[in-house]
Amino acid sequence: MRVTVTVNGSEETVDDVWEGESLLYMLRERMGLPGSKNACEQGECGSCTVYLDGVPACACLIAAGQVEGREVRTVEGLAGGERLDPVQEAFVEAGAVQCGFCTPGLIVQSHDLIGRNPAPTDAEIREALAGNLCRCTGYEKILDAVRLAARRKAAAR
């Protein structure tokens, strides 16, 4: 089948998509966007989190055909040109990245959190990120990163 979808602001048409493919597979294997990660492919780890019409969702749980005519924004679409989003910068600076496989999903989820709640408490950060597994960091530096990003975004306002 053919799928037409707006990804990171640009409308794309993808041909020969098999009906059983997920949005994650289509992004990674057909559209050259492997930033969203394939860690569990059953909606448990959050590594494939993307925005679908502005709402975070696990791309592994969405059939490719379901995104016809809709808008998807992936981790690759968060930076403004060469300039990283403050959430991305904060993850590097706070030491929240080790192997980095969970990082794209955590960044999209944190980006959404700060967009909705510019000054989240620690409890709110934990609640928002509870669906994103990280095996390397023990989450302490991820909390640091989200706090830092929220402060930076607030200061820039």
Partner 1 sequence: MATPAKTPGPVRIPGGVAAPGRGGIGESPLRPDGTLKVAGEFAYASDLWMDGMLWGATLRSPHPRALIRSIDIGPALALPGVLAVLTHEDVPGRKMFGIDHTEDQPVLAIDQVRHQGEPVALVAADHPETARRAMSLIAVDYAVLDPITDPRAVIADPEGLKVQDRGGITRYQPVRVGDVDAAKAAAEVVVSGEYEVGIQDQAFLGPESGLAVPSDDGGIDLYVSTQWLHNDLKQIAPCLGLSEDQVHLTLAGVGGAFGGREDLSMQIHAGMLALRTGRPVKMSYNRYESFFGHVHRHPAWMRYEYGATGDGRLVYADVEIILDGGAYTSSTMNVVGNAASLGVGPYEIPNIRIDAYGVYTNNPPCGAMRGFGAVQACFAYESMMDRLAAACGLGRIEVRRRNAVSQGSRLATGQVIESPAPLAEMLARLEAMPMPAEPDRSDLRNLPGGVSQSTRGEGVVRGVGYGVGLKNICFSEGFDDLSTARVRLEVIGGEASVLVHTAAAEVGQGLVTVQAQVARTELGVQKVTIAPADDRVGDAGSSSASRQSYMTGGAVKRACEAVRAELLARAGRRFGCPAGELGVADGKIVRLAAGAVLGTVEDVLGDGAIEETREFHHRPTARMDPVTGQGRSHTQLALCVHRAVVDVDVELGLVKVVELAAVQDVGKILNRLSLEGQIHGGSAQGLGLAVMEEIVVSGGLVRNPSFTDYLIPTILDMPPMRLDILENPDPEAPYGLRGAGEPPTLSSTPAIVAAIRDATGRPLTRVPVRPEHITLPEAP
Q: Does 30 bind partner 1 (CB under 8 A)?
A: yes
DSSP three-state, residue 79: coil
Q: How far is the CB of 118 from partner 1 (least distance, A)?
A: 20
DSSP three-state, residue 13: strand
Distance CA 26, CA 82 (A): 25
Distance CA 115, CA 93 (A): 20
Could you tell me which stretch among 22-30, 51-59, 61-69, 112-120 binds partner 1 (CB under 8 A)?
A: 22-30
Using N-to-C axis directions, what is the helix angle for 140-156 and 103-116, rounded to 10°?
40
Q: Does 44 bind partner 1 (CB under 8 A)?
A: yes
Among positions 10, 16, 69, 157, the unique one binding partner 1 when judged by CB under 8 A = 16
Where does this chain bind partner 1 (CB under 8 A)? 14-16, 18, 20, 28-42, 44-45, 47, 74-76, 79, 84, 88-89, 91-93, 95, 97-104, 107, 123, 125-127, 129-143
